[in-house]
């Protein structure tokens, strides 16, 4: 099994386990990751944590099976799948996140890196090219200057060079799991509404669509305001206690 799924209450941990390949992804691994996303959705995850078995997060695509067609289509399905989830997705990056590794990290909402983490897209050194979705995503998440460096030079960048942009926090994997536990206590309907808006606006920018219909995003926003969680959040604030959100 190349992908392991574990649950700690509402936190779903998805770990790539191909250490002999430095967690390079092949088609079966991508299919397993897609199944893990479906599992997280059906299980009501509030946070999905994506990581790799040390010493790497994901060193890229397994070049023995990389071809245009099913592999690239499945990779894009997995990348988009993180945005389609209604929960927070957190990439915990230890070691190399290169090529598909940086793509997977960029697809997540948040990224926590260990001090030895490195990000890069070495496609220019292999004669390959990533899809437009990935270019747009890395550009938006890392900033266009860092994206140009990664995409045009193929150079890897250290976590500290991306802190405050692509990398949200630097710390240990244990600290990342504590953060995930904190995130799981946030109001899920608020997260759903804000994430829907962020993903919708990103999609519009990536696809070049104009005059979008934001009905789905607006419905999510109004649902958050009308929820019992909104009542609970205000009551907890007034009573100076931690809120108990139920996603209702």
57-104: pLDDT as tens digits: 999 998 775 666 788 899 999 999 999 999 999 999 999 999 999 999
Asked whether residue 140 falls in the same domain as residue 232, the answer is no
Tokens matching residue 176: 């990342």
Lowest mean pLDDT among 36-45, 155-164, 178-187, 212-221: 212-221
Asked whether residue 210 falls in the same domain as residue 120, the answer is no
* Residue 248 in domain: no
Asked whether residue 92 falls in the same domain as residue 17, the answer is yes
Domain that holds residue 115: 3-183
Asked whether the predicted pLDDT for residue 36 surpasses 90, the reply is: yes
**DSSP strand pairing (11-16 vs 3-8):** antiparallel
Lowest mean pLDDT among 106-120, 209-223, 224-238: 209-223
For 17, counting Cβ atoms within 10 Å of its Cβ (0-12 exposed, 13-18 middle, 19+ buried), the class is middle
Asked whether residue 168 falls in the same domain as residue 201, the answer is no
Domain total of the chain = 2
Asked whether the predicted pLDDT for residue 206 surpasses 70, the reply is: no
From CA 44, how far away is CA 33, in angstroms rounded?
17
Asked whether residue 83 falls in the same domain as residue 197, the answer is no
* Residue 244 in domain: no
């Amino acid at each position: 099994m190349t992908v392991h799924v574990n649950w700690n209450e509402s936190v779903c941990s998805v770990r790539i386990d191909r250490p002999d390949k430095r967690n390079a992804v092949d088609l079966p691994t991508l299919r397993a990751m897609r199944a893990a996303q479906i599992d997280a959705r059906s299980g009501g995850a509030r946070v999905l944590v994506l990581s790799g078995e040390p010493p790497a997060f994901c060193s890229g695509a397994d070049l023995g099976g990389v071809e245009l067609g099913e592999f690239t289509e499945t990779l894009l399905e997995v990348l988009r799948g993180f945005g389609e989830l209604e929960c927070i997705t957190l990439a915990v990056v230890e070691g190399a996140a290169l090529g598909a590794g940086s793509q997977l990290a960029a697809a997540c909402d948040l990224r926590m890196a260990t001090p030895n983490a490195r990000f890069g897209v070495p496609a220019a050194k292999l004669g390959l090219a990533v899809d437009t979705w990935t270019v747009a995503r890395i550009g938006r998440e890392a900033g266009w200057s860092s994206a140009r460096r990664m995409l045009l030079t193929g150079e890897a960048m250290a976590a500290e060079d991306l802190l405050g942009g692509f990398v949200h926090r630097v710390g240990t994997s244990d600290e990342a799991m504590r953060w995930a536990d904190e995130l799981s206590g946030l109001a899920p309907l608020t997260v759903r509404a804000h994430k829907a808006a962020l993903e919708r606006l990103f999609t519009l920018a990536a696809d070049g669509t104009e005059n979008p219909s934001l009905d789905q995003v607006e419905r999510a926003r109004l649902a958050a305001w009308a929820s019992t969680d909104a009542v609970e959040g205000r009551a907890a604030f007034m009573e100076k206690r931690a809120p108990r959100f139920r996603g209702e």
